[in-house]
Amino acid sequence: MAEVIEQVLRAALADPPEAVLDIMRLSLADWLAVGVAGQGEAVARITRDMVQAEGGAQQATFFGGGRGPARGVALANGAASHALDLDDTHFAHIGHPSVAVIPAALAVAEQQGLGKAEMLRAALAGCEASIRFGIVFGRGHYQIGFHQTATAGAFGATVAATMLLSDNPDVMERALAIVSTRASGLKSQFGTMGKPYNAGLAAANGVEAAYLAQRGFTSSRDAIDGPSGFLETHHCDGQAPDTSGFLMESVSHKFHACCHGLHATLEALHSLKPLDAATVKSVHIQTHPRWMSVCNKTSPATGLEAKFSYRMVTALSLLGYDTADLNSFSDALCDHPDVIALREKVEVVAEDALCETEARLLIETTDGSLIAAYDLAKPIGPSERSLRLRAKIDALLGEARGEMIWDAVHGAGGALEDITSRMG
Amino acid sequence: MAEVIEQVLRAALADPPEAVLDIMRLSLADWLAVGVAGQGEAVARITRDMVQAEGGAQQATFFGGGRGPARGVALANGAASHALDLDDTHFAHIGHPSVAVIPAALAVAEQQGLGKAEMLRAALAGCEASIRFGIVFGRGHYQIGFHQTATAGAFGATVAATMLLSDNPDVMERALAIVSTRASGLKSQFGTMGKPYNAGLAAANGVEAAYLAQRGFTSSRDAIDGPSGFLETHHCDGQAPDTSGFLMESVSHKFHACCHGLHATLEALHSLKPLDAATVKSVHIQTHPRWMSVCNKTSPATGLEAKFSYRMVTALSLLGYDTADLNSFSDALCDHPDVIALREKVEVVAEDALCETEARLLIETTDGSLIAAYDLAKPIGPSERSLRLRAKIDALLGEARGEMIWDAVHGAGGALEDITSRMG
């Protein structure tokens, strides 16, 4: 195996400090909440139904209830947890680590009868590998059209699933070689059920590769980086990051139930609160040019369109609607006169000098001018991250269920059942 | 959907003449025989074991016996039937149509309770689609490292599986869009268990996409040919062939249990028979330069190496060993003095003027010179093809089992059980 792959694995399988495990716990709680919230979406129902029609061993738990074989459950749970697109993101990975990795880690840990600690450790190694493979695959891989969440995600899911089955490095090496011929996922699916499905297939591919490697399946040593290998065929142009720290430390969580391109703007608004909407005369938003074609619907008519509209989310936020709550993105609110009146005051312009993670706002009010800026790449402290995530989970599921999910992950018990009993 | 995809589908789903169905029957008998012969190979056992450990509904029959869910059975049977690399080939497709398509068609037909005729028709449409997608994906796709058997094969398997579930063109269109984000398979797996596995994953991907589309899963209309779609990301440089005929008519079957690069030479030798090996003074073989690095082992020491040796197969053929019989490729025969003495008389040279499917031979004997040439691309008449395939199947499995397999496919009965009862 080449140096670059060894470097990725070394970093991913290193002993994690407790602070990094804490971040993984937050991602796990977030994943659990968005999966529960997403389990009724059509893509989640259809994928689960296909797997459940196959029957099989009761190895692992589906979002929405019931049990089935780990590989199929990983497929369905990956799709369910990415259905709402509210899960975590790693900008350097250019992908969503948890939705590809945790379904694989959890399903195999259940099948193996392991506990929360082993599962969490495997999920962290898998996410770390997923981020690092994403960086190795690089911007070229993403730009041409591969969905790193699915492709790098499958390698991450493989690392997580395999380390729950074996501590033999040869098994890990073979599992990664196997998944290199199985990994797939295209950006042409964006905006359709195919996007969440991509997370599910990454998780299932990881489980399959791990089980095959465990059984002695052999593959090519240079399947990833050799001739006709994954890197050569998949427009990969990145390099392994030269750090032994955990890149999962810089994972981002979504605190708003809308397109990630709108989050820096919402965080900048958040920093100005409390602000009386009645005093606002105009809002001028500067954002990275990339987002202008992604999430700048000027007059959204549906809740879905509202999730891709600077003007709409700005009006909602100023009027006090909770943008962490899915219900704030409704068709009805798009028609509400107060919302419409306020969004007419919002102007959005592209600014080349900004990064994709940044926004700058100038707000004119009857009391004077306000300026705010935010960069999502800015580190967020553990206690603030924890508070914001808990608030998001409560907004998504209500306080009572939010608390149960939080406790399932953070409680003292070591049994996986704490978690799986909350997936129904 | 773009014109190119519509054209592929139109041709694949056209009403086939009986003569083309006859060729598909031969491919089915061939597939069944090579699957039965390959079911004990490690890749077949491991893949089947992984699927069987999941349990599940008894929907379809495994090579090696037992039943399980159609999607998992398709994975295992694809791997089993490609394990020996003795299945059919289509040179324009640059791939093996039957091993990706038939496992999907058969598993879904069993699950749906359909008969032989429906299954055969779906398998033919799937193979035709597989070949045509292979041509659309083109040489660029193959050269960079994608394994057309797996990638185009997944699209073909999708066509076969979907037409057994629905006659709604919208379902077919969605299934193909789904499989475009699922299809994978790399040539870096060649020479390992990963190569037969690639056929299995193609079959399983087709079944999965079909079941999801049947349940209402939606995907992007331009997932294949639009921005970030399959063609753009996968180095595709071909075009849909401009013919409404069935390209499956020009499928090639392997009549020898060795590398396809040696077959034109063996056929040329076959055309000279009977020829007394004792009279042979020298054999001069001209072949396409590509094969010099693939199958020109000069002094093979093992049965596996013998499968990649012009000198060895020429000696075996002249000495009367049946090159359709796997047992002719043994370690012991590599050491046999008569074989060694004869192979020392064989010289192999590259000739740019030849196609990959051609070989030219000049044989000096004590009675004078003999010249022979063969091109695998030359059409083979239906009765000769049938005779040769039957002889191959008998050589692989013995006459008694060969006859049962032949009758299972060609007998008057319409039940799939005729076929599946022969897979154990």
Q: How many CB atoms lie within 10 A of CB A121?
A: 21
8 Å CB contact of B186 and A54:
no
CA distance A39 to A80: 5
- A361: which residues sit within 8 A by CB, 6+ positions away? A265, A268, A269, A272, A283, A284, A285, A286, A370, A371, A372, A373
Query: Coil, helix or strand for A320?
Result: coil
pLDDT confidence of residue A365: 96
User: In chain B, what residues touch A187 (CB-CB under 8 Å)?
Assistant: 228
The shortest C-alpha distance from B384 to chain A (Å) reads 37
Closest residue to A228, CB basis, from B150, B187, B211: B187
What is the pLDDT, as a whole number, of residue B54?
Answer: 98
Kindly state the tokens that stand for A343: 């969004």
Give the model's pLDDT for residue B294. 84
Instruction: Classify A49 as helix, strand or coil.
Output: helix
Query: Is B154 in the same domain as B264?
Result: no
Q: With residue A280 as reference, give the H or E element that holds it.
A: strand A280-287
Q: Which residue on chain B is closest to A187 by alpha carbon?
A: B228
B296 phi/psi in degrees, rounded to 5: -120, 45
Same domain, B83 and B230: yes
A410/A360 same-domain check: no
A371: helix, strand or coil? strand
Looking at beta carbons, which residues of chain B come within 8 Å of A146? 233
Report yes or no: B63 and B48 within 8 Å, Cβ to Cβ. yes
Question: Which domain-ending residue is among B339, B356, B375?
Answer: B375
Give the chain A residue whose CA is nearest to the CA of B43.
A217
Inter-CA distances, B9 with B20, B169, B222, Å: 17, 10, 15
The CA distance from A385 to A379, in Å, is 10
DSSP structure class, residue A357: T
Q: Choose among B163, B142, B154, B243: nearest CA to B204.
A: B154
CB contact under 8 A, B178 and A197: yes
What would the pLDDT profile of B360-406 be if each residue is shown by its tens digit?
Answer: 999 999 999 999 999 998 889 999 999 999 999 999 999 999 999 99
Of B46, B69, B232, nearest to A145 by CB-CB distance is B232
> Is the domain of A20 the same as that of A142?
yes
Closest CA to B227 of B180, B260, B274: B180
Co-location of B158 and B213 in the same domain: yes
CB contact under 8 A, A233 and B72: no
Q: Which residues of B touch A211 (CB under 8 A)?
A: 50, 53
If asked whether residues B355 and B399 sit together in one domain, one would say no
Give the C-alpha separation, B318 to B307, whole Å: 16
Residue in A177, A219, A220 with CA at minimum distance from that of residue B42: A219
**DSSP secondary structure letter of residue A189:** G
Contact B58, B68 (CB under 8 A): yes
**Whether complex ipTM tops 0.90:** yes
Q: How many CB atoms lie within 10 A of CB B397?
A: 20
Q: CA-nearest residue of chain B to A142?
A: B228
User: A207: closest CA among A187, A224, A225, A182?
Assistant: A182
3-state secondary structure chain B: CCHHHHHHHHHHCCCCCHHHHHHHHHHHHHHHHHHHHHCCCHHHHHHHHHHHCCCCCCCEECCCCCEECHHHHHHHHHHHHHCCCCCCEECCCCECHHHHHHHHHHHHHHHHCCCHHHHHHHHHHHHHHHHHHHHHHHHHHHHHCECHHHHHHHHHHHHHHHHHHCCCHHHHHHHHHHHCCCCCCEHHHCCCCHHHHHHHHHHHHHHHHHHHHHCCCCCCCCCCCCCCCHHHHCCCCCCCCCCCCCHHHHCECCCCCCCHHHHHHHHHHHHHCCCCHHHEEEEEEEECHHHHHCCECCCCCCHHHHCCEHHHHHHHHHCCCCCCCHHHCCHHHHCCHHHHHHHCCEEEEECCCCCCCEEEEEEEECCEEEEEEEECCCCCCHHHHHHHHHHHHHHHHCHHHHHHHHHHHHCCCCCCHHHHCCCC
Tokens (6 digits) for B32: 């069944």
State the DSSP code for A41: S
How far away is chain A from the Cα of B416, in angstroms, using its nearest Cα? 20
**Has residue B218 got a pLDDT over 60?**
yes
Beta strands B280-287; B346-350: pairing state: parallel
B48 and B133 assigned to the same domain: yes
CB B87 within 8 Å of CB B34 = yes
Query: Which residue out of B139, B228, B230 would a mutagenesis test of the A interface target, given it has the greatest number of A Cβ atoms within 10 Å?
Result: B228
- By CB atoms closer than 10 A (0-12, 13-18, 19+), residue A18 is exposed
Q: What is the pLDDT along chain A (424 residues), one digit of tens a residue?
A: 578 889 999 999 999 999 999 999 999 999 999 999 999 999 999 999 999 999 999 999 999 999 999 999 999 999 999 999 999 999 999 999 999 999 999 999 999 999 999 999 999 999 999 999 999 999 999 999 999 999 999 999 999 999 999 999 999 999 999 999 999 999 999 989 999 999 999 999 999 999 999 999 999 989 999 999 999 999 999 998 888 899 999 999 999 999 989 999 999 999 998 899 999 999 999 999 989 988 999 999 998 889 999 999 999 999 999 999 999 999 999 999 999 999 999 999 999 999 999 999 999 999 999 999 999 988 899 999 999 999 999 999 999 999 999 999 999 999 999 999 999 8
Q: Which two tokens stand for residue A224?
A: 């990833």
| Subunit contact A145:B233, Cβ cutoff 8 A | yes
Query: Do both B42 and B111 map to the same domain?
Result: yes
> Nearest CA of chain B to the CA of A212: how many Å?
7
Contact A187 B54 (CB under 8 A): no
| Residue among A292, A276, A268 at smallest CA distance from A361 | A268
Q: Can you give the CATH number for the domain in which B89 is found? A: 1.10.4100.10
B363: tokens are: 């044989």
DSSP conformation class of A32: H
Name which of B55, B226, B233 is nearest A69 (Cβ-Cβ): B55
Judge: B180–A187 Cβ closer than 8 Å, yes or no.
Answer: no
Are both B220 and B163 inside the same structural domain?
A: yes
What distance in Å separates residue A38's CA from the closest CA in chain B?
16
- Residues contacting A20, CB < 8 A, separation 6+: A124, A246, A248, A249
Burial class (CB in 10 A: 0-12, 13-18, 19+), B378: exposed
What domain range includes position B343? 260-375
Looking at the complex, report in whole angstroms how far the Cα of residue A185 sits from the nearest Cα belonging to chain B.
5
The reply to whether B371 and B399 lie within a common domain is no
- Residues B176 and B129 reside in one and the same domain: yes
d(C-alpha A79, C-alpha A72), whole Å: 11
Question: What is the reported pLDDT for B148?
Answer: 97
Question: Do the chains contact at B54 and A46, CB–CB below 8 Å?
Answer: no
B50 and A191 within 8 Å at the Cβ level: the answer is: no
Inter-chain CB pairs, A–B, below 8 Å: 186
The residue with tokens 């190694």 is A125
> How many angstroms separate the CA atoms of A39 and A20, rounded?
28
Residues near B341 by beta carbon (within 8 Å), at least 6 away in sequence: none
Contact B217 A193 (CB under 8 A): yes
Q: How many domains does chain A have?
A: 2
From CA B103, how far away is CA B98, in angstroms rounded? 8
Cα gap A271→A265, rounded to integer Å: 10
Query: Cα–chain-centroid distance for residue A409?
Result: 18
- Per the CB < 8 A criterion, the answer to whether A343 and A352 are in contact is no
**Residue carrying the six token digits 């299954």:** B119
Contact flag B181-A181 (C-beta cutoff 8 Å): no
CA–CA gap between residue B59 and residue B71 (Å, rounded) = 9
- In a mutational test of the B interface, the residue from A233, A234, A293 whose CB has the highest number of chain B CBs within 10 Å is A233
Q: What is the CATH number of the domain that holds B333?
A: 3.30.1330.120
DSSP-H helix ranges across A289-369: 303-306, 310-318, 331-334, 337-343
Query: Are B56 and A56 in contact (CB < 8 Å)?
Result: yes
Q: How far is B43 from chain A (nearest CA, A)?
A: 7
Q: Which residue has the tokens 């000696």?
A: B315
Whether B181 and A189 have beta carbons less than 8 Å apart is answered as: yes
**Shortest distance, CA A314 to any CA of chain B (angstroms):** 30
Instruction: Put residue B185 in one of left, alpha, beta given phi > 0 → left and psi -120 to 50 → alpha.
Output: left
What pLDDT does residue B415 have?
97
Question: Can you spell out the DSSP letters for A112-181?
Answer: HT--HHHHHHHHHHHHHHHHHHHHHHHHHHHHHTB-HHHHHHHHHHHHHHHHHH---HHHHHHHHHHHTT
- B218 contacts in chain A (CB < 8 Å): 42, 192-193
Across the interface, whether the CB atoms of B177 and A185 are under 8 A apart is answered: no
CA distance linking residue B29 with residue B49, whole number of Å: 25
Facing B180 at nearest CB: one of A144, A186, A208: A186
Task: Kindly tell me the sign of the dihedral angle through the C-alpha atoms of A301, A304, A308, A313.
Answer: positive
If one counts every other C-beta atom within 10 angstroms of the C-beta of residue B381, the result is 8
Residue A94 DSSP symbol:
T
Total number of residues shown for chain B = 424
Do residue A22 and residue A79 come from a single domain?
Answer: yes
Q: Can you tell me which residue has the tokens 């600690």?
A: A117
Chain A residues near residue B188 by CB distance under 8 angstroms: 180-181, 220, 222-224, 226-230
Closest residue by Cα to residue B27 from B95, B97, B92, B111: B97
Count of other CB atoms within 10 angstroms of residue A244: 9
Residues in chain A: 424
* B148 alpha carbon, distance to own chain's centre: 11
Give yes or no for a contact between B362 and B348, defined as CB atoms under 8 angstroms apart: no
**Residue B279 reports pLDDT greater than 80:** yes
Using alpha carbons only, what angle is made at residue A151 by residues A146 and A155, rounded to the nearest 5 degrees?
Answer: 160
Average pLDDT over residues B182-199: 95
pLDDT of residue A1: 55
Q: What does the pLDDT look like over B322-340, one tens digit per residue?
A: 999 999 999 999 999 999 9
Supply the pLDDT for residue B1: 55
Flag if B186 and A230 touch (Cβ within 8 Å).
yes
pLDDT at A304: 85
Q: Select from A69, A188, A218 the Cβ nearest to the Cβ of B54.
A: A69
Match 């195996």 to its residue by tokens.
A1
